[in-house]
Chain A
Amino acid sequence: MSDAEEQTGPPITLVEPIDVSKLDSEFRKTIRSMPNGEELMACFACSTCTAACPIANQWDYKPHQLIRMILLGMRDDVLSSKEIWECLTCFQCQERCPQKVRVTDIFFDCKNLAAEEGMIPDNIIGLARELAEKGQLYVVTADWEREDLGLEPEVPGLSANGIREILKTTRTNKIVGGES
């Protein structure tokens, strides 16, 4: 049948299984050693975290899958995922985890690792720059509103010096491309 012949496209490709030996078996140890990562291994994949999450229904990787990926050593996939940055940090997953895995805190750890490798959304870099330069994320734009209410026109007590000094010595400096 010529119809069938004409419709024959390139051969179908089946997705190759993930080769576990190529994954980073140290990744789970790294996370476990980071702030509040201690309980990572206690995860028994019940997926309560995903059930608790208000936004995971539009994620490719659900929270319980991200934890599984950490345990399996899928470091690159986790650290380059958009999901860790979309995490609301609402802590509902962490609060409901029956094994006390600090899921939200672990995603913070992942973001720190991603940041160390320079994988940060542009807008977050922009916020970091604001912080490093001005010591604040929000600046007063309508000082008359403050004065109308009998408040000082500027943010009371604000001094950017301290925070600037600190962030010069930490990762933020690297992120915003400051001089070392």
Chain B
Amino acid sequence: MKDAVLVIGAGVAGMTAAIELADSNIETVLIDRLPTAGGNALDLYKAFPTDDCFYCFEGSRSRPGIRKCFYRSALIDQPNLHLRTDTEVAEISGSPGSFTVKLTVGPRYVDSRKCILCGLCLELSNAFEQISPQCQPQAVIYRPDLLDDGAKKAESDCPTKAINLNAEPTEETVNITDIVLATGYHEMQPINVDEYSYGKHPNIITQLELAKILDPNGESGGALLRPSDGAQVKNMMMIQCVGSRDENYYAYCSKICCVFALKHAKIVSSERNGIGITVVYMDMRTYDRHERYYRETRDSGVRFLRGRLHLIDPREDGTLDVTVYDSLLNKYLRHNIDLLVLSSALEPPESNDGIIQLLDVQMRSGFIGPSDPFSENEVVAGDHLYVCGSATGPTEVPESVTQARAVVSKILQGRRS
């Protein structure tokens, strides 16, 4: 591998940057600390603004063929692209333009090149799991904390001998010219925002958790069921700005949660007939072309309530009595609901602090900022250092793609001179 670029984080932004670099004949190492590429997008069943289904290979109404499919084939077939999952940066040395990066890989319990997804190990033990039909590499994962006899039997019976329960982490050192930071975001677990009782009641969840429930490939096959007892949800509520625009948590607007919530609300009201849904907000921020989403969602029957939560009162039947202050009506309204979904703040991933220190790049509200905040080079984080996607702060999919392409353009320009 000569003059390689390292892309840290294999979400939408990282994958886009890596694939387009590789397509430009640049050796590219794409790493992710999780066992699969895809990032947060892997858990989304439909993505705005095109409403295409991440599992659909038929394409969407506005585009033939879709992004995900294109990503998958590139991740598999592009010879310049080297995907390393379960991989983290251990050390970076050298100088800009000539970094030496030590990676910690694995342990690789399942050899993804050998795994054929026959499902035998999944039958034998709960320690194996296929995290998503779209996972990349296409292989099962193994969770050593769930080791049992079945897992041992799976190891010996695996038809392709792909399993090694005693695998150890390995190290790999790569020589790198440029580093692309695409470390993404994490959805805040609002445990500390105690008025929302998150973590205390199973029927109080976050938007990403809802996305998994709505996913046709999920446990319930996309049916909206109460986590507490699997009963059909009849009425639900979403609350916006949980931990965002809040000096006690994150002072910034998480920017995409409004559209994210609208997308889910519209799926619920138009595809899960008969479920009543109310969205409680303080501002709806549907910037740019997403205004259309907001209007269509209202038209589909979703109720919007400007105000804030007053009280959650769990009932014995598993429902929640949620009282909300409606500031437009100046009244308190009590809703009996089955499911409360919190649009929780999007926060920087914990691992960001380490990388920010290691590379001495600018921190911006915990995310990675441009080296020169006054320049228009939003994606330039330093000398031979680039940043794109939600690593810069909450970013929607198309914006992540645009930034990733800007990074590729910068790197190509740098090589020409």
Direct A–B contact in the complex, CB atoms closer than 8 angstroms: yes
Q: List 17 additional contacts besides A17-B310, A17-B333, A20-B333; criterion CB under 8 Å.
A: A17-B323, A19-B334, A20-B334, A21-B335, A25-B276, A41-B298, A42-B295, A43-B298, A44-B284, A44-B294, A44-B295, A45-B306, A45-B328, A47-B328, A68-B328, A71-B303, A72-B303
Tell yes or no: B146 within 8 A of A by CB. no
**Cα separation A19 to B235 with both chains bound (whole Å):** 14
What are 25 sample pairs from A and B whose C-beta atoms fall under 8 A apart? Answer: A17-B310, A17-B332, A17-B333, A17-B334, A18-B331, A18-B333, A19-B334, A20-B334, A20-B336, A41-B299, A42-B295, A42-B298, A42-B299, A44-B284, A44-B294, A44-B295, A45-B328, A47-B328, A64-B328, A65-B328, A65-B329, A65-B330, A68-B328, A71-B303, A72-B329
Pair A15/B301 contact, Cβ less than 8 Å: no
Is the C-beta of A69 less than 8 angstroms from some C-beta in chain B?
yes
| Shortest Cβ gap from A27 to chain B (Å) | 12
How far, in whole Å, are A47 and B330 apart by their CA atoms in the complex?
13
CA separation between A18 and B334, bound complex, in Å? 6
The answer to whether the Cβ of A99 comes within 8 Å of any Cβ in the partner chain is yes
Q: Looking across the interface, which residue of chain A has its beta carbon closest to that of B326?
A: A68
* B contact face: mostly helix, strand, loop, or mixed: strand
Closest CB in chain B relative to A38 CB, distance in Å: 10
- Which residues of the partner chain A approach B330 to less than 8 Å between Cβ atoms? 65
Q: Which of A15, A17, A65 has the most CB of B within 10 A?
A: A17
A contact residues around B328 at 8 Å (CB): 45, 47, 64-65, 68
Residues of A close to B301: CB separation below 8 A: 41
Chain A residues near B48: list those with CB within 8 A: none
Q: Which residues of chain B are within 8 angstroms of A69 by Cβ–Cβ distance?
A: 329
Q: Which residues of A contact B (CB under 8 A)?
A: 15, 17-21, 25, 41-45, 47, 64-65, 68-69, 71-72, 99
Contacting residues, chain B, for A18 (C-beta < 8 A)? 331-334
B249 CB–A CB distance under 8 Å: no
B304 within 8 A of A: yes
Note all chain A residues with C-beta closer than 8 A to B329: 65, 68-69, 72
Kindly provide the distance from the CB of A130 to the nearest chain B CB, expressed in whole angstroms: 38
Cα-based distance from A48 to B301 in the complex (angstroms): 22
Give A44 to B284 CA distance when docked, in angstroms.
9
Query: For residue A19, which residue of chain B has the nearest CB?
Result: B334
Minimum CB distance partner of B331 in chain A: A18
What chain B residues lie within 8 Å of A71 (beta carbons)?
Answer: 303
Interface residues in chain B, defined as those with a beta carbon under 8 Å from any beta carbon in chain A: 276, 284, 294-295, 298-299, 301, 303-304, 306, 310, 323, 326, 328-336
Which chain B residues border A20 with CB–CB below 8 Å?
Answer: 333-336
A45 to B304, CA, bound (A): 9
With both chains docked as a complex, state the minimum distance between the C-beta of B309 and any C-beta of chain A, in angstroms. 12
In whole angstroms, how far apart are the Cα atoms of A113 and B316 in the complex?
39
Which residues of B are found within 8 Å of A43, using beta-carbon distances?
298
Contact of A99 among B276, B295, B306 (CB under 8 A): B295
Bound-state Cα–Cα, A20 to B301, Å: 16
Shortest Cβ distance from residue A152 to the other chain B in the assembled complex, whole angstroms: 54
Q: List, in ascending order, chain B residues with CB within 8 A of A44's CB.
A: 284, 294-295, 298, 304
Q: Of B294, B298, B310, B332, which one neighbours A15 at CB under 8 angstroms?
A: B332
Closest Cβ–Cβ distance, residue A57 to chain B (whole Å): 15
Q: Which residues of B contact A64 (CB under 8 A)?
A: 328
- Chain B residues in 8 Å Cβ range of A68: 326, 328-329
Residues of chain A within 8 A (CB-CB) of B310 are 17
Q: Top 3 nearest A-B pairs by Cβ distance?
A: A17-B332, A17-B334, A20-B335
> Within the complex, what minimum Cβ distance (angstroms) separates A62 from chain B?
9
Chain A residues closer than 8 Å to B331, beta-carbon distance: 17-18
Q: How distant is the Cα of A18 from the Cα of B336 in the complex, in angstroms?
A: 11
Name the A residues within 8 Å of B332 (CB-CB). 15, 17-18
Q: Tell me the minimal C-beta distance from B338 to chain A in angstroms.
A: 12
Separation of A174 and B186 alpha carbons in the complex (Å): 64
Instruction: Give the chain A neighbours of B334 by CB distance below 8 A.
Output: 17-20
Shortest distance from the beta carbon of A77 to any chain B beta carbon, whole Å: 10
A47–B306 Cα gap in the complex (Å)?
12
Residue of A nearest to B306 (CB): A45
Question: A71 CA to B304 CA in the complex, in Å?
Answer: 9
Which residues of chain B come closer than 8 Å to A25, judged between CB atoms? 276
Q: Does A21 contact B298, Cβ atoms closer than 8 Å?
A: no
Chain B residue nearest in CB terms to A71: B303
Assembled-state Cα–Cα distance A68/B328 (Å): 8
A99 to B298, CA, bound (A): 11
Chain A residue nearest to B330 (CB atoms) is A65
For A65, the chain B residues whose CB sits under 8 A away are: 328-330
A41 to B310, CA, bound (A): 25
Least Cβ–Cβ distance between A81 and chain B, in angstroms: 13
A180 to B236, CA, bound (A): 48
CA distance A99 to B296 in the complex (A): 12
A72 near B333 with CB under 8 A, answer: yes
Closest Cβ of chain B to A39, distance in Å, is 9
Smallest CB gap from B332: residue in A: A17
Please name the residue on chain A nearest to B336 by beta carbon: A21
The CA of A73 and the CA of B184, in the complex, are separated in Å by 42
| Docked pose: A99 CA to B294 CA in angstroms | 11
Q: Give the distance to chain A from B322, nearest Cβ to Cβ, in Å.
A: 9
Residues in B with CB closer than 8 Å to A41 are 298-299, 301
* Whole-angstrom distance between the Cβ of B415 and the nearest chain A Cβ: 49
